[in-house]
């Protein structure tokens, strides 16, 4: 009978332990195991403490609250106590720069220091909050930008502080945007803010022909009160406007000012831009920001079937007519939508565009009329031209130049000027109304040889 295996193994084990080389190795290994075990224990314990005693909230970069929280974090918070001072010192900052172009003024750059990536501790009221700002290793498909999160953690006992934090952060964001109009444009398949929100443009600063502005504003305001009316009739709650006319007549400016007046943002796509395809347009229209005016610039681009290839082989705009219609009729039914379409070439558009919900109202925004010239004069020189005699001489001069004629003497088309050109003339002669009158001839556009 063989000896029991256990006794044999015991002897072997003793012999092995007598071997100093093996014993050393074994000792190290068990030490390692103990450390690993210990560390695991600590981790588990930390995890338990975390779960029981801490609460966290994670904000992803995609969330609208992300920039608010960043702005809130950048607020200076002087700490009184020695401990708070040491604990909350942030050693890593990142900078966020925004440039602001003031109308008729220089561009100003503002710097905002924010907590950088990594972990920081801040003290808010009586709670310590750990802030961890992380860039993830995964990236957004559309833009290739890495995902980013901020995680705020505090003691369970202080969990209510988060409500406070978010309320404050939102208030800061609201205040920063007060009196401003945000403009979104398209990057890849997303609406992204086009720079910082701009100061609201007063409606009064856009001078359209008599009654035109008032007509559109009244229509939009009326539309905004009628959601129920649309819902009851099962009609998608949408309204479309087409503004057409020559360049520099104030179409885009008016839409910007209207958005400001209604406290809406503007979401802008230029259809003549490269890379705007049917699919993309349809997709973007289903995920418009809230409270926004959709602005489709240069819609005639969708009606030009064959455009000359540019030197680099690109075809330019790629939106088709049916693509535009599909996008306008798209799936986001039930959602409020106000769309403004603009074009310089009404003659290229297809009548199918003029359907309820696509385009309900068409407005020509044309060359400067006498009414507009007078209004613009008053806006620029009203305070120095108290008796309006300067304005009358200016208007008489434009009349003499034939700018308001129905028809030129020889039966041809009379010269016309744009409101943009008048604005340019006035800006050039900022404090000098005589200069503006003397230079009025410059408003007549140079004759271009028409080749068709």
Contacts to ligand ATP by CB under 6 A = 206-208, 247-253, 344, 419-420, 423
One character per residue 198-237, x = contact with Mg ion (rule: CB under 5 A): ----------------------------------------
Residue 76 Cβ vs Mg ion, minimum distance, rounded to whole Å: 41
Q: Minimum CB separation from ligand ATP for residue 423, in Å?
A: 5
206 contacts which partner out of Mg ion, ligand ATP, none, CB within 5 to 8 A by kind?
ligand ATP
* Residues with Cβ within 8 Å of residue 357, at least 6 apart in sequence: 235, 236, 238, 239, 240, 328, 329
C-alpha–C-alpha distance, residues 208 and 237, integer Å:
27
φ, ψ for residue 131 (rounded to 5)? -115, 125
**Residue 88, binding choice from Mg ion, ligand ATP, none, Cβ under 5 to 8 Å by partner class:** none
Would you give the distance in Å from CA 154 to the centre of its chain? 32
| Residue 253 contact among ligand ATP, Mg ion, none, beta carbon within 5 to 8 Å by kind | ligand ATP
Which of Mg ion, ligand ATP, none does 249 bind, CB closer than 5 to 8 A by kind? ligand ATP
d(CA 315, CA 275): 9
Contact status, residue 341 vs residue 244, Cβ threshold 8 Å? no
Residue nearest to ligand ATP (CB): 250
Question: Which sign, positive or negative, has the C-alpha torsion 418, 423, 429, 434?
Answer: positive
Task: Restricting to residues 238-297, name those near Mg ion by CB under 5 A.
Answer: 251-252
Q: Taking the complex as a whole, how short is the minimal distance between the CB of residue 74 and ligand ATP, in angstroms?
A: 33
Cβ distance to Mg ion smaller for residue 213 or 251:
251
Task: Please say which residue, 251 or 391, places its beta carbon nearer to Mg ion.
Answer: 251
* Cα torsion through 421, 424, 428, 430, rounded to 10: 110
Q: Return all residues near 87 (Cβ < 8 A) that are at least 6 apart.
A: 121, 123, 128
Q: How far is the CB of 401 from Mg ion (least distance, A)?
A: 26
301 binds, among Mg ion, ligand ATP, none (CB under 5 to 8 A by kind): none
Q: Which is nearer to ligand ATP, 223 or 426 (CB)?
A: 426
CA distance 30 to 42: 18
Neighbouring residues of 416: CB distance < 8 A, sequence distance ≥ 6: 246, 367, 368, 403, 445
Element (H, E) at 256: helix 251-262
Please check whether residue 98 is in contact with residue 110, taking contact to mean a CB–CB distance below 8 angstroms: yes
- The partner in contact with residue 277, picked from Mg ion, ligand ATP, none with C-beta cut-offs of 5 to 8 angstroms by kind, is none
Give the residue with the Cβ less far from Mg ion, 259 or 440: 259
Closest to ligand ATP by CB, 181 or 253:
253
By rule CB under 5 A, what string of x and - marks binding of each residue 63-102 to Mg ion?
Answer: ----------------------------------------
Q: Cβ closer to ligand ATP: 104 or 431?
A: 104
Given a contact cutoff of 8 angstroms between Cβ atoms, the answer to whether 320 and 300 are in contact is: no
Give the residue with the Cβ less far from ligand ATP, 267 or 423.
Answer: 423
Sheet holding 54-60, edge to edge: 54-60, 146-155, 127-139, 118-124
Which residues contact Mg ion (rule: CB under 5 A)?
A: 251-252
């Amino acid at each position: 009978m063989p000896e029991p295996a256990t006794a044999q193994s015991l002897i072997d084990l003793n012999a092995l332990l007598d071997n100093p080389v093996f014993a050393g190795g074994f000792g190290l290994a068990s030490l390692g195991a103990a450390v690993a075990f210990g560390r695991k224990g600590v981790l588990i314990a930390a995890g338990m403490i975390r779960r029981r005693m801490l609460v966290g909230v994670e904000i992803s970069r995609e969330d609208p609250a992300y920039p608010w929280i960043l702005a809130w974090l950048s607020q200076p918070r002087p700490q009184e106590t020695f401990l708070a001072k040491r604990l909350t010192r942030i050693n890593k900052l990142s900078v966020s720069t925004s440039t602001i172009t003031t109308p008729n003024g220089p561009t100003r750059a503002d710097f905002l220091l924010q907590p950088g990536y990594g972990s920081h501790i801040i003290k808010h009221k009586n709670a310590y909050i750990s802030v961890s700002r992380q860039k993830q290793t995964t990236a957004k498909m559309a833009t290739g930008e890495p995902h980013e999160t901020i995680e705020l953690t505090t003691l369970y006992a202080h969990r209510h502080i988060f409500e406070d934090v978010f309320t404050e952060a939102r208030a800061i964001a609201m205040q920063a945007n007060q009196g401003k109009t945000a403009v979104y444009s398209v990057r890849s398949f997303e609406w992204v803010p086009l720079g910082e929100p701009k100061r609201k443009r007063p409606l009064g600063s856009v001078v359209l022909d008599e009654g035109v502005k008032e007509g559109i504003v009244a229509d939009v305001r009326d539309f905004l009160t009628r959601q129920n009316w649309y819902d009851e009739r099962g009609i998608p709650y949408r309204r479309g406007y087409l503004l057409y006319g020559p360049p520099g007549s104030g179409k885009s400016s008016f839409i910007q000012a209207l958005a400001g007046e209604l406290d809406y943002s503007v979401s802008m796509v230029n259809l003549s831009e490269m890379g705007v395809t049917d699919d993309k347009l349809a997709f973007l229209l289903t995920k418009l920001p809230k409270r926004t005016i959709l602005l489709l610039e240069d819609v005639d681009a969708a009606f030009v079937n064959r455009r000359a290839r540019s030197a680099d082989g690109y075809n330019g705009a790629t939106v088709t007519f049916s693509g535009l219609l599909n996008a306008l009729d798209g799936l986001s039914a039930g959602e409020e939508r106000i769309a403004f379409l603009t074009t310089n070439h009404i003659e290229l558009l297809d009548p199918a565009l003029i359907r309820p919900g696509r385009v309900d109202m068409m407005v020509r925004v044309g060359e400067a009329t006498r009414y507009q010239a007078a209004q613009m004069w008053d806006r620029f020189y009203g305070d120095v031209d108290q008796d309006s005699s300067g304005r009358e001489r200016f208007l008489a001069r434009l009349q003499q130049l034939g700018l308001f004629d129905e028809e030129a003497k020889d039966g041809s088309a009379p010269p016309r000027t744009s409101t943009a050109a008048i604005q340019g003339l006035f800006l050039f002669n900022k404090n000098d109304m005589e200069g503006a009158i003397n230079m009025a001839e410059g408003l007549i556009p140079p004759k271009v040889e028409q080749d068709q």
